[in-house]
Amino acid sequence: MGTASGIIRALNSGVKHLAVKRFTLRYPEEKLKFVGDGYQFDPTVGVGIAGLKGRHMLFHDHCTGCQLCSIACEGVAEAIAMVKVPEGWKHNKKSIMPQIDYGKCVFCGLCVDACPFYALYMTNDYELSSFTKEGLIYTPAQLQVKPDVRQDSEIVIDERGATHG
Amino acid sequence: MDGTVGAASASAAAPPSPAGAGAPAGRLPPGLSVERTDERIMTLNVGPQHPGSGHMRLVIQVDGDYIVNCDPDPGYVHRGEEKMAEYRNYVLNIPHLERPVIHDSCNVLYPYCLGAEDILGVEVPERAKYVRVIASELNKCIYIQYWLAIYGIFLGHSTMFMWPAGDRELLIDLMEKLTGARVTHAYFVPGGVRNDLPANFEDACLRQVGYFEKRIKEYADIFYDNPILVSRTAGTGVLSRMDAVRFGTTGSVLRASGVDFDLRKREPYDAYGEMDFSTPVLKDGDSYARSRVPWLDMMESCRIVRDALAKMPKSGSVRTKLKPNPKGKLPHEEVYRRVESGRGSLGCHIVSEKKPEPYRVKMSVPSFRNLICMPNLLRGEKLGNMPAVYWSLNYWPVEADR
């Protein structure tokens, strides 16, 4: 193949893509949809359930304050600290629950694998930025709140190319 | 190293520096040396801040426009991963051991997991072996696309930066569905994988991998058959077949020099023995061949993904439960396992003691092996060919430094 024809073919290949749909996700307006409600773990069979590893969610009525999540995190990021909670629970004698510092968390999800009481899951919420370092520290009360996520954009593939429909 | 120190102190040493009060005139402090160089030779420092070098420094000596010597100086992103691994147990080592190559994190963990399984005596379920093959091949494509984007932009081809960076998103989306994270998946564990495939994953995987394959074939016209790229890369940095073996290169560099060596074929691990694929081998050994082999690799990876999805057992467990407390029960033994990653053969040597933590974890990384041949390739080349040769080595600085 000659040099001129090669360059024309390369240019032609680029020009053809003017007709291809835009693939970019327009992020703040559109958000990508994920499978499920976030990464979860089933301790009875010892296998996780697929989902996004985002912000955690803590179920106060399951947490016994056993600190296994905190111990798992010690070897990874030291993001989890056990703190006192004001309300008393019968199953949580010491009244301690995890508090997570998202300035340190690496979202590996090993704390979820460590929890034997179905108390700690991860959610689809990944927008955690804050203006202060303290704003990244989520107390047990904040972790209890189910996040409000509106994510509906999916990759659609047709003859004219792939888009985030 | 010596080149720059020598060049800096050679000019300062002519009048004895008053600052060096402790050292008498004519004698330098230990560790420094004066190097007399030819007037014609100029020493250039490429990096470590320069984006064209990655996180490393290349000390290049040029005579006019021609490189007479090159001294790669890695080590700027050393993180002590191997030492950190001695203080954590076999599962908690996972998140930090995948950090050296975050785009290829499944493959970086793979040899560690295989080795840890040998030590812990865990059997991987049949379905998990196939899931691992899928995740590993998808991750390999993600890495190669990222590398290709960098290779394109350093040759001045900005379309080739945009296209792979965009098409990579198709596979990142799949990995996000599968593992829950876009990079640093922490997906492989000793004993299998963390979670099973999500619902409808197979359909999405076939659809997106099919489109991805169609897209990468379009790179031929704009990049690989482009006469401008060919004239810049063909014939530069030729590595002969003998030299490739002698320097101990691996992966795409070795296969571009005509040596058919792929660990997925030679030492099949997990489900690779049952996969139907071929390994692309080119004979030229120049930068063009080295840039083309990973592209052909991606097409084979797409084939493997489809094959693995078809042959996978439809149900079954994906993770063997580890014993709750292995304290005092681990044998004193050492294992070495290696896999074929996006850059070449990646090995992990684990020595275990009777403790929950490994005694020693040593990673043998392909990036460092491929870097060794670089001074040889650059000698005699023009300075303008440096990026074309350097990035064709499929080198990832963080992995070389660990």
From chain B, the residues in CB contact with A39 under 8 A are: 180, 195
Domain contains A9: no
List the structure tokens of A94. Answer: 């010491």
**At A40, which CATH number?**
3.30.70.3270
CB contact under 8 A, A110 and B94: yes
Confidence of residue B235 (pLDDT cuts 50, 70, 90): confident
Given this model, what pLDDT does residue B324 score? 65
Q: Is A110 on the interface with B (CB under 8 A)?
A: yes
For residue B210, the cross-strand partners are none
For range B391-400, the mean pLDDT: 85
Peptide bond into B48 cis (omega under 30): yes
Which band of pLDDT confidence, cut at 50, 70 and 90, is reported for residue B142? Answer: very high
Domains and CATH numbers, chain B: 81-374 (1.10.645.10)
Size of interface A-B (CB pairs under 8 A): 107
Looking from the CA of B106 toward its CB, the CA atoms found within 13 Å total: 27
Angle, helices B287-311 vs B126-154, to 10°: value is 150
Domain that residue A134 falls in = 32-149
Give the closest-approach CA distance of B226 to chain A in angstroms: 6
A76, B95: Cβ pair inside 8 Å? Answer: yes
Residue at A134 is within a domain:
yes
DSSP calls for chain A: --HHHHHHHHHHHHHHTTSSPP----TTTS-B--STTS-EEETTTTEEE-----SEEE-TTT-----HHHHHHHTTT--EEEEE-SS--SS-TT-EEEEEETTT-----HHHHH-SSS-EEE-S------SSSGGGEEPHHHHTSPP-----B-EEEETTEEEE-
Examine the pLDDT at A52 and tell me if it is beyond 70: yes
Per mean pLDDT, which range of A34-43, B33-42, B161-170 is the poorest?
B33-42
Question: Which chain B residue's Cα is nearest to A113?
Answer: B194
What is the C-alpha to C-alpha distance for residues B78 and B362, in angstroms, rounded to an integer?
14
Averaged pLDDT of chain A: 86
Pairwise pLDDT comparison (B311 vs A92), residue with the higher score: B311
Q: Is residue A160, in this structure, part of any structural domain at all?
A: no
The verdict on residue A11 lying in a domain is no
Q: Quick count: other Cβ atoms within 10 Å of Cβ B147?
A: 23
pLDDT at B222 over 80: yes
CB contact under 8 A, A52 and B180: yes
At B7, is the pLDDT very low, low, confident or very high (cuts 50, 70, 90)? very low
Please indicate, yes or no, if residue A13 is contained in any of the structural domains: no
* pLDDT(B3) > 60: no
Nearest-CB residue to B177 (from A13, A35, A113): A35
Q: Which helix (H) or strand (E) holds B44?
A: strand B41-46
| Partner B contacted by A138 (CB < 8 A) | no
B88 and A48 within 8 Å at the Cβ level: the answer is: no
Q: Which amino acid is at B247?
A: F
Question: Where is pLDDT greater, at B329 or B11?
Answer: B329
Q: How far apart are CA B250 and CA B174, in angstroms?
A: 28
The number of folded domains in chain A is 1
Q: A108 and B196: CB-CB below 8 Å?
A: no
CA-nearest of B229, B354, B163, B77 to A14 is B163
Report the distance separating Cα B168 and Cα B142, nearest Å.
6
Does A14 lie at the interface with B, CB-CB under 8 angstroms?
yes
- The 10s digit of each residue's pLDDT in A6-27 is 888 888 888 888 888 888 888 8
- What is the nearest CA distance from B225 to chain A, expressed in angstroms? 7
In a domain, residue A12? The reply is no
**A4 falls within a domain:** no
Q: Is A123 within 8 Å of A37 (Cβ atoms)?
A: yes
Q: Is A32 on the interface with B (CB under 8 A)?
A: yes
CA B182 to CA B205: how far, in whole Å? Answer: 15
Task: Please give the pLDDT value at position B88.
Answer: 86
Question: For position B89, what pLDDT does the model report?
Answer: 84
Q: What is the pLDDT of residue B136?
A: 92
On whether residue A158 sits in a domain, the answer given is no
Residue A104 has pLDDT above 60, yes or no: yes
Q: Who contacts A5 (Cβ-Cβ below 8 Å, separation ≥6)?
A: none
Which chain A residues are closer than 8 Å to B222 by Cβ?
10, 13-14
Q: Are strands A96-101 and A120-122 parallel, antiparallel or unpaired?
A: unpaired
Distance from CA of A110 to the nearest CA of B (A): 8
Q: Per-residue pLDDT for B16 more than 80?
A: no
Q: What per-residue confidence (pLDDT) applies to B20?
A: 42
